[in-house]
Structure 1
Amino acid sequence: MSDAPAPQGGYGRDLFAPEHPEEAGRIDAAALVYDPVTFRRLRALGAGAGGRCLEVGAGTGTVARWLLDEAGAAEVVALDRDTSGLETLAGPRISVVAADLRDEDLDLGRFDVIHARFVLMHLPERRRLVSRLARRLNPGGWLVLADAVELPDGHDTASAYRRTMDAMWRALATTIGTDISTVPAYPRFLREEGLLDVAGEVVCPPLTAGGPLARFWSETWSRMRPQLEETGLVDATAVDAALARLASPDLAVFGPGMAMAWGRRP
């Protein structure tokens, strides 16, 4: 996807508007699947306890709440361009900041944990942003990045499901600049920033009919119908068939997974 035309829009503005009545539910469906993975990793790193934490792209606040209530963070800063999903996050140890991570004047101080999930993949400046986030770590602090990866079936190139998934990635690339091709490079990026104990893992949760992940993709594709069809890879009939596949007990594919990479500031 690196050769896609330059994007003209942005996440939350040209796609997935936060004021849409189904947007919070779409985000929470993904959180049901990926939050346990995130929490397990942060817990294994010992990240958050007694520290100052930054949650980038806080969404509806599920990770920020966990850092505060379960990890025992001293302070959590929940950052998002739109903070309408964070209205219930209130308290003396939490700050909700409405800002764009790309703002060069944004200075929130330094942190012991910085976590960004499904954020950098949507920002063309992702490599520069990794550097900025790494510089915001306190000594001993952890930077944890997570974004989407795919395990496509190379023998399935013509099914409605595969064509719709491919159309989605192309539409995301041309509309808002999404690119998952650099996600496998995240461990290298962290090492280039001088971080230690760099490692990573890939988790591909089950994609089952009627499950939260199927609901997430169904809602995503339904909301993106015009953009999907504009790619020329699918028409309305193909999208309908792909949506039916997500709801069918015959569904048997690896859905997109999540790659996590982490490193510690010396």
Structure 2
Amino acid sequence: MTTAPRGGAPGEGRYGEAVFPPERAGEGERIDFGALAYDDITMARFRALGVGPGWRCLDVGAGTGTVSRRLLDEAGVTGVLAVDRDVRFLVERPVTGLDVIEADVTDPDFDPGRFRLVHARFVLMHLPERDRVIRRLAELVEPGGLLVLSDAVDLTSDRAPGTPYATVMRAMWQALGETIGTDVSQVPAYPQLLRGAGLVPVAAEIHVPPLLAGSPISRFWADTWERSRAPMLATGLVDDAAVDAAIRYLGSDECAALSAGMLTAWGRKPGESP
């Protein structure tokens, strides 16, 4: 991002290259742990916004496709176009109504059509072109349709208790900033960015999943730390012993910490749906 978290320099790599390569064994399972923690919240927001039959949807950075498939199975939408820079997890599980394209949302020529729902989760926080991409995604929403964006908010501030979890989370955010440019510091500005993109009304909410031993979110963070261990060590903020201690802490009843939250912001395109 333009400003890396905790003062680090913006990274020059990209998600899926410097860290979290999709070809690494178990990467799909790591993504699915995150889906187990957040998909119900995403689907509840879709239902509250009226997403349902007759809607054509675009799912950007669709990952393993859990949200895309639930839109079809539970919301009963007409169709979903799932987009990712690497679609190996999407094509492994084809379903009726799900179309898949391999594309880069930051490409100026990215133009898959117009949709009643455009959704991206845990995508924009990794992109240096975030503001431009939000404006572009807003252009892909048809009149009367919705843009729904979700990204992480860091709750391990300098005033948070000094737990093994907080120590390693701070190192992780700095490491991801330095390697791939991840920046969650501007996520609270999403409602204003959506309004600036011409959407009205806009609103937002935050969900913080509980960190319980063996829970999907705890397993997601433990796996994420293992897969980003090298860049975390390179920050100098932690060593192997600190990472190992934090993983044990997550898996124990001693854990007393706040996970990163998921901020979801949404806005509607003025006009009437076709």
Question: Please, what TM-score do these two structures have when normalized by structure 1?
Answer: 0.96
Per the alignment, residue 102 of structure 2 pairs with: 98
Q: Give the AA of the match of 2:180.
A: I
- Counterpart code for 1:74: T
Contact 2:143-2:269 within 8 A present in 1 as well: yes
Alpha carbons of structure 1 residues 91 and 245: separation in structure 2 relative to 1, 3 Å = closer
Q: Is residue 169 of structure 2 the alignment partner of residue 165 of structure 1?
A: yes
Specify the alignment match of 2:34 in structure 1. Answer: 30
* Pairing partner for 1:237 from 233, 236, 241: 241
Which amino acid is 2:224 matched to? Answer: T
Secondary structure of residue in 2 paired with 1:262: strand
| Residue correspondence of structure 1 range 59-138 to structure 2 within 5 A | 59-91=63-95, 93-138=97-142
Matched pairs, number: 266
**Large movers: runs of 4+ above 6 Å:** none
Matches of 1:92 and 1:203, distance apart in 2: 31
Quote the residue 1:259 is aligned against: 263
Whether the 8 Å CA contact 1:89–1:96 is kept in 2: the answer is no
In structure 2, the CA distance between the partners of 1:106 and 1:29, relative to structure 1 (3 Å rule), is same
Match of 2:222 in 1: 218
Q: Which amino acid aligns with 1:54?
A: L
**Could you tell me which residue of structure 2 aligns to residue 9 of structure 1?**
13
Q: Out of 255-264 and 160-169, give the one that drifted further.
A: 160-169
How far apart, in 1, do the equivalents of 2:91 and 2:60 lie? 16
Gaps of 5+ in 1: none
> Which letter maps to 1:195?
L
Is the 1:151–1:256 Cα contact (8 Å) retained in structure 2? yes
Cα deviation, 1:223-260, whole Å, max 9, x if unaligned, reads: 11111110010111111111111111110111111000
Distance 2:77 2:96 in 1: 12
In structure 2, C-alpha distance between the alignment counterparts of 1:169 and 1:48, rounded to whole Å: 36
Other-structure match for 2:232: 228
Task: Give TM-score scaled by structure 2 length.
Answer: 0.93
Write the distance in 2 (CA, Å) between the matches of 1:48 and 1:137. 16
Superposition deviation, residue 152 in structure 1: 2.5
Distance in 2, matches of 1:48 and 1:144, equals 15
Q: Given the alignment, which residue of 193, 196, 201 partners 2:200?
A: 196
Taking only the aligned residue pairs, the percentage that are identical comes to 52
Following the alignment from structure 2 to structure 1, what is the Cα–Cα distance between the partners of residues 22 and 52? 28
Q: 1:154-194: CA deviations, max 9, x gaps? A: 54464332221101000101111100011000000111111
| Structure 1 residue 56: Cα displacement | 0.5
Question: Residue 249 of structure 2 aligns to which amino acid in structure 1?
Answer: R
What amino acid is aligned across from residue 198 of structure 2 in structure 1?
A: G
Check whether the contact 2:156–2:170 (CA below 8 A) recurs between aligned residues.
no
